[in-house]
Structure 1
Amino acid sequence: MGTIKVHEFTTIDGVIDTPTWTFGYEFTPGMSDALGTVTGSCTAILLGRTTYEMFAPAWSSRTVEDDPGAPFFNDTPKYVVSSTLEQADWNNSSVLGGYDTESIRKFKDGVDGGIYISGSATLVRALIADGLVDELHLFVYPVALGTGLRLFPEGTPKTTMTLVGSQAFDNGVVQLTYGPGTSD
């Protein structure tokens, strides 16, 4: 049975929108190691359509010389949750169809290892609501934007998670790792 491991870059006010705001902060070796720890245990990548359409052209031409993460993104089997995308052309990619809780449970049960997700806000929100996220890795940047797409927008039902790890980096970014919460 697979474990779903979500990775998000976020601001201190919870914005996860296209993270161009991260450019002012050097991606440190410690951050690279932490992200490598998350991806190193993953044997599949699960993405929403929008993130897939951003990642495919960005990663497909990168090599390990360009970015140490390129082999993971290019060689690992990728699965896209989408009701509109008919085919996925990026190496080792396939479309699972629209979001369905039971289909995702079956997919998760069929994966031996971790299932990495990055971005994919709509998908991640649904997975959290359905109790399917095993690890939530938030890289919190020391900036507030005031507006933008949030992982937990206003009106989201109460969500409880358990802090299972934290790490601070030299550039002011903090990694917070959460697991499933306890029932109220």
Structure 2
Amino acid sequence: MGKIVVSEQISLDGVVEDPSGVEGTGRGGWVNEMSQADRARWTEHEFAESVAAEALLLGRRSDAWFAARWRDRAGEWADRLNTMPKYVVSSTLDEPQWGNATVLSGDVVEQVAKLRTETDGDIVVYASALLVRLLLDHDLVDELRLTIHPFVVGAGPSLWGETASRKTFRLTDSRLLGSLPHLTFEVVAA
């Protein structure tokens, strides 16, 4: 059985919107302020995470965002991301933009639960905050991996939204990626 792993870059106040600044939200771009040493450690970590993963699970907008930035890149990390299996959750998309991808449509909860039982290993979710909230609400997330950037953005969509019930997590790992805290939480079953 697979494990749904949410891997996010997040501000101190939980904001996940526009970390790179390319969406032009006015408050974005906070990941660009990490030092070169932090970026090098974060890159090593993210590459290792992609190598260990069996697949990626993305929302429609995240599929388009990543496809536009990774499709034409070269190198070990780009090769891994571009060739690994991807699943894109969408009710409107027929053809995903990133290669080696399958659209999951219909009942998202049912489709992701099925994917989880049919996959061995980690199914990593990058970005896709709305999808993450839905998965959390339906107890489909097994692990959270959060790289915390030392900024209070002050506004913008957060990883956290209202949930149908209280959610409990257990810290299973903490480390520094350079000076950036990286926390891993296991979801505790209710």
Q: TM-score, normalised by structure 1?
A: 0.89
Alpha-carbon offset, residue 158 of structure 1: 2.9
Identify which of 156, 169, 173 aligns with 1:165.
173
**Would the aligned equivalents of 1:5 and 1:38 in 2 still touch at CA under 8 Å?**
no
**58 and 98 in structure 1: CA distance in 2 versus 1, 3 angstrom threshold:** farther
Q: How does 1:4-153 map to 2 (within 5 A)?
A: 4-20=4-20, 21-26=30-35, 27-64=38-75, 68-153=76-161
CA distance in 2, matches of 1:78, 1:100: 15
> What is the distance in 1 between the residues matched to 2:107 and 2:15?
23
Question: In 1, distance between residues paired with 2:153 and 2:85?
Answer: 34
Post-superposition CA distance 1:128-157 (Å, at most 9, x none): 11111111100000010110110113x445
Moved more, 82-91 or 4-13: 82-91
Give distance in 1, aligned partners of 2:69 and 2:111: 28
Between the aligned partners of 1:28 and 1:145, the Cα distance in structure 2 is 19
Taking structure 1 as reference, are residues 41 and 99 closer, same or farther at Cα in structure 2, changes over 3 Å only? farther
Change (3 A) 1:101 1:13: same
Whether contact under 8 Å (1:81, 1:99) holds in the other structure is no
Give me the whole-angstrom Cα distance separating, in 2, the residues matched to 1:15 and 1:89: 26
Query: Which amino acid in 2 is paired with 1:41?
Result: A
Cα distance between partner residues in 1 of 2:70 and 2:107 = 24
* Equivalent residue, structure 1, for 2:26: none
Larger CA deviation: 31-40 vs 143-152? 31-40
- Displacement of 1:90 after TM fit? 2.4
**Matched AA of 1:18:** D
Cross-structure match for 2:27: none
- Which 10-residue stretch deviates more, 158-167 or 37-46? 37-46
Per-residue CA shift, 1:21-56, capped at 9, x if unaligned? 100103433322322332222111110011111111
What's the offset of the Cα at 1:98? 4.1
4+ aligned runs moved over 4 Å, structure 1: none
Report the Cα distance in structure 2 between the residues aligned to 1:89 and 1:38, rounded to whole angstroms.
Answer: 22
Task: Indicate the residue corresponding to 1:2 in structure 2.
Answer: 2
Tell me which moved more, 49-58 or 90-99.
Answer: 90-99
8 Å Cα contact 1:160/1:180 also seen in 2: yes
Identity %: 35
Letter of the structure 1 residue corresponding to residue 155 of structure 2: T
